[in-house]
Chains A and B, each alone.
Chain A
Amino acid sequence: EAQVTQNPRYLITVTGKKLTVTCSQNMNHEYMSWYRQDPGLGLRQIYYSMNVEVTDKGDVPEGYKVSRKEKRNFPLILESPSPNQTSLYFCASRPAGGTEAFFGQGTRLTVV
């Protein structure tokens, strides 16, 4: 089944403790991105990657890192999480030139 898989689905952590949210897609898509979704603000892009080893900042990149060592994986790294990063996070992928984004199930992160 074609899908985007995120892990974990839920995570509660403490301020400053490094964490990684994984994202994997099995559709051979070139383009992957991370979004955060907050009430009233909609989906805001954090980082995106147009292909392996090619990443760039989105609209709200502060406090986040990403890597794209393999085509299928695009992990989101929070080196020192803070409470303002409490949010619902989505990974998405789509083929080069395509406009339909395929989203993961989401990761609800709480930083206390």
Chain B
Amino acid sequence: KNQVEQSPQSLIILEGKNCTLQCNYTVSPFSNLRWYKQDTGRGPVSLTIMTFSENTKSNGRYTATLDADTKQSSLHITASQLSDSASYICVVSTRMNTGFQKLVFGTGTRLLVSP
């Protein structure tokens, strides 16, 4: 069964500290993996996309990693800011026999950055 699991469910860190969020998936075949940021009460917005051949990708203070062998991804946030407080959702795409790309969503990690 195609599944995406994220950990931890929630996390509280002090402003300025670093943190790492985890995503494990059993989705097959794998097309790509995206991390979304969802501010409270708003729609998710894509932060970064990882394809099979990519190990690391950065977007400002956000760095995503992908290990396609172990089917794990992480999102590292450096020097956290209060505006980083949000839910972070891992989404894996899989191509169906019809060519359609199906998205499989994780349940997200809720991050709170405390002053």
Contact = CB atoms under 8 A, between A and B. Distances in A.
Interface string A1-26: 00010000000000000000000000
Interface residues of A, number: 19
Interface in A46-92: 50, 88, 90, 92
B15 to A, nearest CB: 25
A98 B34 contact: no
The CB with the most chain A CB atoms within 10 A, among B32, B42, B44, B89, is that of B44
Interface residues on B, range: 20 to 34
B60 interface: no
Interface in B73-88: none
Given A50-B100, A97-B99, A42 B106 contact: yes
A99 B99 contact: no
Contacts, number: 44
A99 B101 contact: yes
B41 interface: yes
B103 A99 contact: yes
Contacts of B115: none
Given A42-B106, A50-B100, A99-B34, A4 B43 contact: yes
Given A40-B107, A42-B105, A100 B46 contact: yes
Interface of B: 9, 31-32, 34, 41-46, 49, 89, 91, 93, 99-101, 103, 105-108
Which 4 pairs between the two chains have the least Cβ-Cβ distance? A103-B43, A42-B107, A99-B93, A43-B105
